[in-house]
Structure 1
Amino acid sequence: MGRKLSPEFITDLKNGNLTPVLKRVRDDHTLDLQIRDNEIHIYYRGGKLVGIKRNNNTNSYKMDFDKNYLKDPSYFVNLPYDVSSMNDAQRWVNDFQFLKLEMDIHFSKNMKPEREFQQLVSRENSYSRVSNLTDYFIVDVEFEKTVNTISTKFDAMAIYWPSTSSARKFIESPSQKLAIIEVKYSDSALSGSSGIVEHMEKTVACLREPGDCEEIKITICEQFNQKRELGLVLFSKNGNKNAVPELSGRPIYILLLANHDPASKVLRNELNSDAFNQAYMALQQYADVKFATSSFMGYGLFEECMLDLDSFKSALGRQAGA
């Protein structure tokens, strides 16, 4: 059915067996609910706290937790793997704090800073105090797509929806676009395998066929509207009832480079390499490539802080004192 939830799944989250789970996610902003193929993953600090998948032809669900996070895996004998009632779901929710503590201890020894940073960006631009002020809503993380045997995983998928009152009220023509975000945490992630160039090349493979690009747009639009229905997108005090029927125009490809060391030459060397220039020129045919910079120390994605390549290189030179 694609990367979305069935109407029955939505109903069970809103007022059925999974109601305790949705309520906890709404009440706990350290948790991030993401939609999969008739399945949800709830993330904590970038790691999957629980996965919930609907059992075929029933209104019961399979819930799981990665036991590698646990000091004592036998703990799970007390939790129901098959959830068929609100009481079953509530038993899991009651143990979320314990499971989060186990993950805290695990991450203190097995750090995953990029995934944790990614979740913070998702929160700030979807359900935080400033989410209605930014120009991008994060819709999905760890989005996977395979085209002609080339498989890639996008760190985050977003909808560009300018925060001006006219754009949000549709006084002007609808201006929502697909935004693909690639997160790189520290200079060690910029080059080589899974570096900037490789991800740009894989993105080209996903976008160069119009049908594949449109399929991604449709999926992200459907996910966004389902999240809104579940109350997982925070708009202004009075909300926003305007639908997002489609995403139009060229996608935006955003490189979000976190904690670059100004004294390092790795980023400058990468941006000046032949491999980067070739990948950049190829990607520019299918998407508008931008570099995210922060608005003072925040995680909000504002259009004013999105730079093109030349402007980003200039800023990089000034930062390094060049």
Structure 2
Amino acid sequence: MTENRRLPDYFIKDLKDGIYHPIIQRVRLDKDLDMEFRGTYLNIYYQGHSILNLNKNGSIAIDKKFLRGVEEKVPSSFKTSEDVNAYLESLPNIKDNVTYCPNEAGIRSSKSRELEFEQLLIRANNLESRNNSEYIILDRQYVVNQGVDRWDLVALRWPIEKRGRPYQEGFLSIIEVKYAQNPDIQNIKTQVERYASYLETHLPEICEDMKSILVQKLDLGLLAKTEGQMKRLRELPIKPDIAETEVIIYLIDYNQNSDLKKRAEKAGKPAFQGKVHVALGGLALWQSNLSKFGDTT
């Protein structure tokens, strides 16, 4: 059985127009923040790191290293509007502690960069309306197989070519992010096959839960979509069709001069009834990635 990630209705109400509404307002205004649902609690992320764990009973948890300098100002639970405001007033300091943590030398490790790029992918696909992306990220760090695996991103694929049709469908996509020369790239076949095994067994309930999360995020204004798009998304089924379900290996700043990807390809296509794709992205530049302007070859 999978764990439902949707929040209880009363929790959503407190976020929408109750005591936690100022938190939602802040997340809407700050595209560097990301809110994800965990069933009985929610997380707010900055640069991929959790800067708030808010339980449905109002208790909160924040890593001590991110509270440096504001330990006495942030309450241990949100029982009043003043408690919520105290957290929001301390938020700039908390964010600064994420960016600069002198006593945690490893915080800017490659794994940390992967987490940061995961959040950038969420921003680019969920919060930048001009992109009109075909993907909406619905969850991150999705735990499966009793904690053995953790999917980086779970997304709705909403194909553009089908959006004008009277009946539209969405499909599930799992996105695995690998930053730079992550040696795990060469073992991707085994990793994808574990994901595939879980998807082939639990796809209907995962799609149902992701549909609930989609509606809740629309209700809270956490997706930058037009009124027309939001209406269509509310009616859009996420179809549990394993043949249309995909796993995307997203290689960020991957140096194509490396042999890691070649080793992975030698292992062959993962055994999966769905689709497996590789995407290349990031900001680092290599000559091999360039083409002449106007060159169509």
On whether the aligned pair clears a TM of 0.5, the verdict is yes
Deviates more, 1:16-25 or 1:198-207: 198-207
SS in 2 for 1:21: helix
The two structures have a TM-score, normalised by structure 1, of 0.79
Given residue 150 of structure 2, which amino acid in structure 1 is its aligned partner? K
Given residue 196 of structure 1, which amino acid in structure 2 is its aligned partner? I
Q: How does 1:165-204 map onto structure 2 within 5 Å?
A: 167-168=162-163, 171-191=165-185, 195-204=187-196
Partner residue in 1 for 2:293 = none
CA separation of 1:189 and 1:24: change in aligned 2, threshold 3 A: farther
Given residue 289 of structure 1, which amino acid in structure 2 is its aligned partner? V
**Counterpart-to-counterpart distance in 1, 2:124 and 2:159:** 16
**Counterpart-to-counterpart distance in 1, 2:44 and 2:210:** 18
**Counterpart-to-counterpart distance in 1, 2:39 and 2:138:** 14
Q: How does 1:7-22 map onto structure 2 within 5 Å?
A: 7-22=9-24
Given residue 156 of structure 1, which amino acid in structure 2 is its aligned partner? L
SS in 2 for 1:260: coil
- Which of 36, 39, 54 does residue 37 from structure 1 map onto? 39
Kept after mapping to 1: 8 A contact 2:73/2:90:
no
Offset of 1:272 from its aligned partner?
A: 1.1
- Which of 246, 249, 267 does residue 255 from structure 1 map onto? 249
**Counterpart-to-counterpart distance in 2, 1:27 and 1:150:** 33
CA separation of 1:9 and 1:182: change in aligned 2, threshold 3 A: same
Residue ranges of structure 1 left out of the alignment (5+ in a row): 56-60, 299-317
**Counterpart-to-counterpart distance in 2, 1:10 and 1:237:** 20
Q: How does 1:259-270 map onto structure 2 within 5 Å?
A: 259-270=253-264
Residue ranges of structure 2 left out of the alignment (5+ in a row): 291-297
**Counterpart-to-counterpart distance in 2, 1:199 and 1:244:** 33
- Which of 55, 67, 70 does residue 53 from structure 1 map onto? 55
Given residue 81 of structure 1, which amino acid in structure 2 is its aligned partner? S
Count of residues paired in the alignment = 275
Q: Over aligned residues, Cα RMSD in angstroms?
A: 2.3
Partner residue in 1 for 2:116 = 116
Partner residue in 2 for 1:221 = 211
Structure 1 stretches of 4+ with a deviation exceeding 4 A read: none
Q: How does 1:81-92 map onto structure 2 within 5 Å?
A: 81-92=76-87
Partner residue in 2 for 1:292 = 279
Kept after mapping to 2: 8 A contact 1:124/1:130:
no
Partner residue in 2 for 1:101 = 96
Offset of 1:183 from its aligned partner?
A: 0.7
Partner residue in 1 for 2:71 = 76
Offset of 1:245 from its aligned partner?
A: 5.0
Given residue 18 of structure 1, which amino acid in structure 2 is its aligned partner? Y
CA separation of 1:240 and 1:85: change in aligned 2, threshold 3 A: same
The one-character-per-residue Cα deviations of 1:206-240 (angstroms, maximum 9, x if unpaired) are 0232xx11111111111111101100011137653
Kept after mapping to 1: 8 A contact 2:68/2:94:
no
Given residue 238 of structure 2, which amino acid in structure 1 is its aligned partner? L
**Counterpart-to-counterpart distance in 2, 1:189 and 1:42:** 29
The two structures have a TM-score, normalised by structure 2, of 0.85
SS in 1 for 2:215: helix
